[in-house]
Chains A and B, each alone.
Chain A
Amino acid sequence: MKKEPLEAKEKEAALRINSFDEVVFGYNEEEASSEASRCLQCKNPVCISGCPVGIDIKKFIYQITQKDYRGAYFTIRQKNDFPSICGRVCPAEYQCRKTCILTKKDSPFAAKEAINIHFLERFVGDYGMKNNLSVPQGKGALAAKIKVAVVGSGPAGICCAGELARKGVKVVIFESLHKLGGVLRYGIPPFRLPRDILDFEINYLKKLGVEFVPNCIIGKSKTLDGLFKEGFSALFLGLGAGTPSFLGIPGENLCNVYSANEFLTRVNLMCAYDFPKFHTPVNIGKHAIVIGGGNTAMDAARVALRLQKMNGIAPDTTILYRRSEVEMPARRLEIEHAKEEGIKFKLLVKPEEFYADEKGFVQEIRCLKCRLGEPDSSGRRKPIPVAQSDFKMPCDLAIIAVGLKANQILTKATPAIKVDVWADVVVNPETMETSVKKVFAGGDIVGGEGTVIEAMGMAKIAAEAILKSCST
């Protein structure tokens, strides 16, 4: 008998909007084993081609069916140091699950029937965490002589550090903020990635001997040259796409118009949801509007709605997006979660202007309706504003989540590093080496906004190239 796909259990929507606790519970052993048994164990496992780091998905799923969770853990760890993180935040429906044989060809994202690879990965990662499994550290004579500086402690940085440290290289990670994890900490809310999971994965690096230096802004506190003078043999730049884009419409600088980065940083990194115990404030409104259709927009909306609920305001949070739902770049799972929690979606609308009250706080937004035209360069149908279709909505909190650009602090201070027109760092894709010798880069600072696992994929290539470059 054909088994139905098994969704991981979740906290009930009505309950979860009262807190920042994790939404998805994940599989227990029985559920994992049941879902794993649905895997067809294809001769040619195309799912693997959908994984940016090439995890042997077929093998680890087989090991789950054999109750060899330990083996499954090490299978994943061969390619991915952070299964508990990736199992939670990877957009699997666009990656491994999309290439899974159970998804029809040409589908824009994974079919419901596709194996829930991400839930299985999470199960295995959490098993390893609970049982304190750790990968033995290599001790190459050469590696021990190498010291590498990693700039940025986001997904790319910690992945590169892990790869190198496991081979016995001395790694120091420099982070500009006071806490580690980069976007995993300031961007992704705890209800998607609990902080104890993040802390555990970062502590794992500390156990490998990786040293962390927070509050250090390379390009400002220290220069790249300075790092080489301190004795580092190579550098890896995982600077991220940290600069928020804005819409460029009138009223965008009114009070209570936030970039998603600011709103999320205040809440996730600075814990503004626990004000006044934590001292950083964040404002919340009766009518929250979030503009954008990506994961950041979903995160911001779900945070805003929780803050409304937790502050005794009747939840009213609306996502405005200029295309339709199918074009939304967000994870399908997160769109579903947002809907379950009561986020309203107003699609095919383009914000035109914000209006203020007498004190300069936003109180209203004017939009135009859109229709979909022909596909544009992104392959998605282009939104075309409809003339004279203006309408207004009440809006006393606006969050702009329309994308992120490169953070330029380091590259502006280091002109020798070649950047492209978007200020992203230019690298040799085979080695991830920048225009400066022994300086490598990966993650969102190369090629713009991507996913956690794509960043890790680049970081792994870089780690290998760093080892090679230091041995010649």
Chain B
Amino acid sequence: MKIVYKQILGQVQDIRLTRLDIAAGDIAKEAKPGQFVVLMTSEEGERIPLTIVDRDKDKGAITLIFQEAGLTTKILGKLNPGDSLYALAGPLGHPTEIKNYGKVVLVGGGVGIAELYPVAKALKQAGNQVAVILGARTKELLILEKELKSVSDELYITTDDGSYGRKGFTTDILKELLDKNKYVLVYAVGPIPMMRKCAAVTQEFKVKTLVSLNALMVDATGMCGCCRVEVGGKTQFSCVDGPEFDGHLVDWDELTKRNAIYLDKEQHICKLMLK
């Protein structure tokens, strides 16, 4: 649970994306693309889920990348190599089904790009023809460009402000690609509005679309149901039934609302603790 490496990947004002490598032999051994860990920074801390971005079996370490948003990620961002987490458990959730689908498009937005990387790498290795679309608010917040370039056949970049790549949204390019070519699978991970828009675009083209959801969790082992989400009219637990679901079947309104349940408390505690 000791932090062995730290790198600030991007920063604009108080938005910061950080990479931490953490010693976790058992998790590094078992982790597969698409899976996540749950961690605590202290005994008083929250349990939060984070996707396993990479692993080094030999060194027994896993890589996590996060954007400082709530209190826990802010505390996490203050940790340095040599510091230890209080708790770390995983790998959790179903791994991504990796096989040769054929032509696939992978869409990553913001810190979701980090979650996209292990999936892209595995799909490329499995022989897929991989097109990757990355979206960021601005150039300084675009992460893992080089890494994703190395595991894709085509790479497209958009920024909201046009400071790098194409000005606009990932879905603009997604639509163009689907117009031009036939794809078997679209995989999207990022902010809820982005995944939702991706699913709306692919629905028109009737392309199977997987999304990796970032529901709130507590135990993350199927015990509490905090992360429940309606998929195709059925309640599913993101932690044990997901985190990937058919993007066309997800009740996005419900997910958006449920993810805002503690917004006021989160703002309150951030103000209080980070003074």
Least CB separation from A259: chain B residue: B225
Q: Contact partner of B222 among A246, A253, A275, A409, CB < 8 A?
A: A409
Within 8 A of A (CB), among B217-275: 218-219, 221-226, 228-230, 235, 240, 251, 253-254, 257-258, 260-262, 265-266, 268-269, 272-273
Q: Which residues of B contact A43 (CB under 8 A)?
A: none
Q: Which residues of B contact A360 (CB under 8 A)?
A: 253-254, 257-258, 260
CA distance A255 to B262 in the complex (A): 10
Known A220-B91, A407-B223; judge A255-B26 contact (CB<8 A).
no
Interface size, A (range):
35 or more
Q: Assess the B218–A266 pair: CB atoms within 8 A.
A: yes
Least CB separation from B88: chain A residue: A215
CA distance A222 to B226 in the complex (A): 25
CA distance A215 to B92 in the complex (A): 12
Q: Contact partner of B224 among A220, A262, A281, CB < 8 A?
A: A262
CA distance A471 to B5 in the complex (A): 48
B191 within 8 Å of A (CB atoms): no
CA distance A220 to B38 in the complex (A): 12
B147 within 8 Å of A (CB atoms): no
Q: Assess the B257–A281 pair: CB atoms within 8 A.
A: no
Known A220-B92, A222-B26; judge A253-B258 contact (CB<8 A).
yes
Q: Assess the A276–B221 pair: CB atoms within 8 A.
A: no
Q: Assess the B30–A246 pair: CB atoms within 8 A.
A: no
Known A215-B89, A217-B221, A255-B257; judge A246-B235 contact (CB<8 A).
yes
CA distance A280 to B254 in the complex (A): 22
CA distance A276 to B103 in the complex (A): 49
Least CB separation from A271: chain B residue: B44
A408 within 8 Å of B (CB atoms): yes
CA distance A311 to B228 in the complex (A): 27
Per-position 1/0 for A358-371, Cβ under 8 A of B? 01100000000000
A465 within 8 Å of B (CB atoms): no
Q: Assess the A261–B90 pair: CB atoms within 8 A.
A: no
B45 within 8 Å of A (CB atoms): yes
Q: Assess the B222–A242 pair: CB atoms within 8 A.
A: yes
Q: Once A and B bind, how many residue pairs between them come within 8 Å at the CB atom?
A: 123
B71 within 8 Å of A (CB atoms): yes
Q: Assess the B86–A253 pair: CB atoms within 8 A.
A: no
CB B181 to nearest CB in A, in angstroms, measures: 37
Q: Contact partner of B228 among A242, A253, A359, A409, CB < 8 A?
A: A253
CB A282 to nearest CB in B, in angstroms, measures: 9
Known A221-B27, A253-B254, A276-B273; judge A244-B265 contact (CB<8 A).
no
A206 within 8 Å of B (CB atoms): no
Q: Assess the A253–B230 pair: CB atoms within 8 A.
A: yes
Q: Contact partner of B223 among A178, A244, A246, CB < 8 A?
A: A244
Q: Assess the B86–A279 pair: CB atoms within 8 A.
A: no
CA distance A258 to B254 in the complex (A): 15
CB A193 to nearest CB in B, in angstroms, measures: 18
CB B46 to nearest CB in A, in angstroms, measures: 5
Within 8 A of B (CB), among A328-367: 359-360
Known A176-B89, A217-B92, A283-B262; judge A242-B269 contact (CB<8 A).
no
Least CB separation from B237: chain A residue: A243
CA distance A262 to B224 in the complex (A): 4
Q: Assess the B269–A279 pair: CB atoms within 8 A.
A: yes
B40 within 8 Å of A (CB atoms): yes
CB B150 to nearest CB in A, in angstroms, measures: 29
B87 within 8 Å of A (CB atoms): yes
CA distance A222 to B30 in the complex (A): 8
Q: Which residues of B contact A261 (CB under 8 A)?
A: 223-225
Least CB separation from B230: chain A residue: A253
Q: Assess the B258–A244 pair: CB atoms within 8 A.
A: no
Q: Assess the B44–A246 pair: CB atoms within 8 A.
A: no
CB A405 to nearest CB in B, in angstroms, measures: 10
Q: Assess the A262–B262 pair: CB atoms within 8 A.
A: no
Least CB separation from A222: chain B residue: B26
Main secondary structure of the interface of B (DSSP, over half): mixed
Q: Assess the B92–A243 pair: CB atoms within 8 A.
A: no
CB B96 to nearest CB in A, in angstroms, measures: 15
Per-position 1/0 for A381-410, Cβ under 8 A of B? 000000000000000000000000001110
Q: Assess the B30–A221 pair: CB atoms within 8 A.
A: yes
Q: Contact partner of A265 among B71, B219, B266, CB < 8 A?
A: B219
B138 within 8 Å of A (CB atoms): no
A444 within 8 Å of B (CB atoms): no
B55 within 8 Å of A (CB atoms): no
Q: Assess the B265–A281 pair: CB atoms within 8 A.
A: yes
Q: Contact partner of B45 among A220, A254, A279, CB < 8 A?
A: A279
Least CB separation from A360: chain B residue: B257
Q: Assess the B40–A178 pair: CB atoms within 8 A.
A: yes
Q: Which residues of B contact A176 (CB under 8 A)?
A: 89, 219, 221
Q: Assess the A216–B45 pair: CB atoms within 8 A.
A: no
A448 within 8 Å of B (CB atoms): no
Known A277-B44, A279-B45; judge A255-B258 contact (CB<8 A).
yes
B72 within 8 Å of A (CB atoms): yes
CA distance A409 to B219 in the complex (A): 13
CB B26 to nearest CB in A, in angstroms, measures: 5
CB A178 to nearest CB in B, in angstroms, measures: 4
Q: Assess the B222–A270 pair: CB atoms within 8 A.
A: no
Q: Assess the A262–B226 pair: CB atoms within 8 A.
A: yes
Q: Assess the B222–A408 pair: CB atoms within 8 A.
A: yes
CA distance A275 to B270 in the complex (A): 12
Q: Which residues of A contact B26 (CB under 8 A)?
A: 216, 221-222
CA distance A130 to B265 in the complex (A): 41
Q: Which residues of A contact B223 (CB under 8 A)?
A: 186, 242-244, 261, 265, 407
B47 within 8 Å of A (CB atoms): yes
CA distance A410 to B92 in the complex (A): 12
Q: Which residues of B contact A243 (CB under 8 A)?
A: 222-223
Q: Assess the A279–B254 pair: CB atoms within 8 A.
A: no
Q: Which residues of B contact A244 (CB under 8 A)?
A: 223-225
Within 8 A of B (CB), among A213-248: 214-217, 220-223, 242-244, 246
Q: Assess the A221–B89 pair: CB atoms within 8 A.
A: yes
Q: Which residues of A contact B254 (CB under 8 A)?
A: 253, 360
Per-position 1/0 for B82-105, Cβ under 8 A of A? 000011111110000000000000
CB B244 to nearest CB in A, in angstroms, measures: 16
CA distance A256 to B265 in the complex (A): 14
Show 15 A/B contacts (Cβ-Cβ < 8 Å), sorted by A.
A217-B90, A220-B30, A244-B223, A253-B258, A255-B261, A256-B261, A259-B224, A262-B224, A262-B226, A265-B223, A265-B224, A266-B224, A276-B265, A281-B265, A407-B221
Additional pairs, 17, CB under 8 Å, beyond known A246-B225, A253-B229: A177-B89, A186-B219, A221-B26, A221-B91, A253-B254, A253-B258, A254-B257, A259-B224, A259-B225, A265-B219, A270-B47, A278-B44, A279-B46, A279-B71, A283-B261, A283-B262, A360-B258
